[in-house]
Amino acid sequence: LEHFDVEKIRQDFPILTRKVNGKPLVYLDNGATTQKPKQVIDAIVEYYTQLNSNVHRGVHYLSQLATDAFEVTRRKLRPFINAAHEHEIILTKGTTEGINLVASCYGKAYVKAGDEIIISAMEHHSNIVPWQMLCEERGATLRVVPINDAGELDMEAYRAALNDRTKMVAVTYVSNALGTVNPVGEIIRQAHAAGAPVLLDAAQAVQHLPIDVQALDVDFLVFSGHKMYGPTGIGVLYGKEKWLDAMPPYQGGGEMIKDVAFEKTTYNELPFKYEAGTPNIEAGICLAHAVDYLETAGLNRIAQHERELLAYAGGRLLEIPELRIIGTAQEKSSVVSFLLGGIHPYDVGVILDKLGIAVRTGHHCTQPLMERYGIPGTVRASIAMYNTKEDIDALVAGVQKAAEMLA
């Protein structure tokens, strides 16, 4: 691997030079959302100054330009995750909408009373609640795979939960609260052996490690643009063609139809069947620039850089007496969650904020997971490609200061 030039990367992110509370910004809340490089910011301005028009309908020049630019994003996303077909890439609002779409459409077609859906104990609320709602509607059962104290899935329990009533396995690739990287290849193989498809929540994976949906043989994969250096309000649902063809549409409206009559409407082909209404055109177009950015930086190099930082952060934080790391899985990516003695995470977060250090505190939309550990929440530092050892040093100094002040 060549040298990863983090200082050069940082120059692409204008916000990283600003101050917060009179201190240089140390941004370690990347799990919530990442900052944007100027390539993405410039593309947003370019869109509104040169292209703004509705897509997929106008004959006029600007509409053609906007449509072409929007479709460039789909064209770039296909090889980015190695999908077999461009029309397997559905543009959504984000991860949440992608999961709701699959729960709703797959659920209507395939889930009935007595069936079972498997999730895990470390899911984000957005990969719990849509399945709960589906189970309630259909009379199906939600089964939850437990984790060990390190925050790793209990694969024995997973195998035992799979059976011929299992209609879907929906798990996160990387835990947003613990950083655990799940053994998704094995999870998918086992599910398929039991005849069940798998949805992977890749919201915390796609910006940190290379993903190949065909090698994984995953059925559905969802992620958000805003967590991968792209705009807010756009996300991706990858689905295997066979499922996307077989499922009914999600929302009805413009764009998703072929012909409408009061007697009968026929639906559009993929991917438009699942893209009712005017999409977030600006974000859709500009997501391509985030994909370019990630590919230029190189996901293998990013992963290596972030792995080094994570190991450094873990080691340095543990120098602080009474600090406890929540989530000590063998395979981790980019997240370090911790508690300082009996101090409430929020109090630590407030002191860090005064020092210009942005972290997240609380339950991280994983209340059942916090319940599993018997804690109200954690302080979470989450790493992106532009973070440095100096950022980690600032964090450690800040936590030390918080420990002194709150002791």
Residue 286 is among the residues annotated as catalytic for this protein: no
95 binds ligand PMP (CB under 6 A): yes
Measured between alpha carbons, how far is residue 41 from residues 14, 27, 143 in Å?
9, 18, 42
Give 50 or 251: the residue with its C-beta nearer to ligand PMP.
251
Measured between alpha carbons, how far is residue 158 from residues 77, 125, 190, 191, 193 in Å?
31, 20, 9, 9, 13
CB of 49 to ligand PMP, least distance (A): 27
Measured between alpha carbons, how far is residue 305 from residues 160, 196, 308 in Å?
37, 36, 5
Q: Which two tokens stand for residue 258?
A: 């072929």
167 binds ligand PMP (CB under 6 A): no
Window 125-154: contact mask with ligand PMP (x via CB under 6 A)? -xx---------------------------
Q: Nearest 5°: phi and psi at 25?
A: -65, 130
H helices of 225-331, in order, are 241-246, 281-297, 299-317
Single residue of 120, 166, 176, 382 touching ligand PMP by CB under 6 A: 176
Where is 134: in which H helix or E strand? helix 129-138
Question: 259: buried, middle or exposed (CB in 10 Å: 19+, 13-18, 0-12)?
Answer: exposed
CB of 279 to ligand PMP, least distance (A): 15
CB of 165 to ligand PMP, least distance (A): 26
Query: Would you say 221 and 202 are in contact if contact means Cβ atoms under 8 Å apart?
Result: yes
Q: Parallel, antiparallel, or unpaired for β 141-145 and 235-239?
A: unpaired
CB of 126 to ligand PMP, least distance (A): 4
Give, as ranges, the residues between 218 and 237 that touch ligand PMP (CB under 6 A): 224
Tell me the residue length of the chain: 407
Give, as ranges, the residues between 285 and 344 that touch ligand PMP (CB under 6 A): none
Single residue of 12, 29, 115, 201 touching ligand PMP by CB under 6 A: 201
Window 11-50: contact mask with ligand PMP (x via CB under 6 A)? --------------------x-------------------
Give 76 or 226: the residue with its C-beta nearer to ligand PMP.
226
Of 2-10, 100-108, 199-207, 333-341, the segment contacting ligand PMP by CB under 6 A is 199-207
361 binds ligand PMP (CB under 6 A): no
Nearest to 337 by CA among 399, 291, 289, 290: 399
Q: Which residues are catalytic?
A: 365
**Which residues of this protein are in contact with ligand PMP, per CB under 6 A?**
31, 94-96, 124, 126-127, 172, 176, 201, 203-204, 224, 365
